């Protein structure tokens, strides 16, 4: 068999993931921000460019952290250092919510807390929290991809491994 011509469709738009997203035609909130923050937004967008799971969205009246699943985390963002566990509290719409991130050492948690608390503006603080959540999700996703499910494992162990590997 001989192929004379291969047709490709190069007009398919590539998905361009942007972690800093401004809702078009609804940026009233953006116009109320001080010049200091407006000048920093491009740097924040570049800083967050390699994130995979979380976005920093600026809507008509506010900004918030959103997950690719649709989950939204609204201000205020508070941190609690619990040894090797970092607890990030926020609001999910009007309900309080928290993210519990477990690290190997307390030093990692201290460094993250320092980075977040030293952020000069609320946007940069939210960006640091977003980066922390994204790095944590990325590392856990990588760990979960490496889970091996053996046919010889017990049924309960297989189910636990499947849930860890593919659970949402």
Task: Band the pLDDT of 13: cuts 50, 70, 90.
Answer: very low
Instruction: State both tokens at 113.
Output: 């807390």
Provide the Cα torsion 122, 123, 126, 132; round to 10°.
-120
- pTM, rounded to two decimals: 0.73
Return the DSSP state at 138. H
The model's pLDDT over 38-68, given as tens digits with 9 standing for 90+, comes to 889 999 999 999 999 999 998 888 899 998 8
């Amino acid at each position: 068999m001989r192929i004379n011509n291969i047709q490709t469709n190069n007009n398919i738009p590539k998905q361009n993931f942007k972690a800093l997203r401004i809702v078009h035609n609804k940026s009233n909130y953006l116009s109320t921000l001080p010049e200091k923050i407006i000048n920093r937004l491009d740097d924040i967008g570049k800083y967050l460019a390699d994130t995979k799971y979380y976005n920093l969205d600026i809507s008509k009246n506010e900004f918030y952290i959103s997950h690719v699943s649709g989950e939204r985390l609204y201000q205020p963002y508070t941190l609690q250092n619990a040894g090797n566990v970092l607890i990030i509290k926020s609001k999910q719409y009007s309900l309080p919510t928290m993210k519990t991130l477990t690290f190997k050492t307390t030093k990692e948690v201290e460094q993250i807390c320092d980075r977040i608390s030293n952020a000069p503006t609320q946007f940069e603080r939210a960006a640091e929290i977003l980066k922390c959540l994204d790095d944590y999700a990325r590392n856990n996703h990588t760990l979960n991809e490496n889970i091996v499910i053996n046919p010889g494992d017990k049924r309960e162990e297989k189910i636990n491994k499947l849930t860890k590997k593919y659970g949402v």
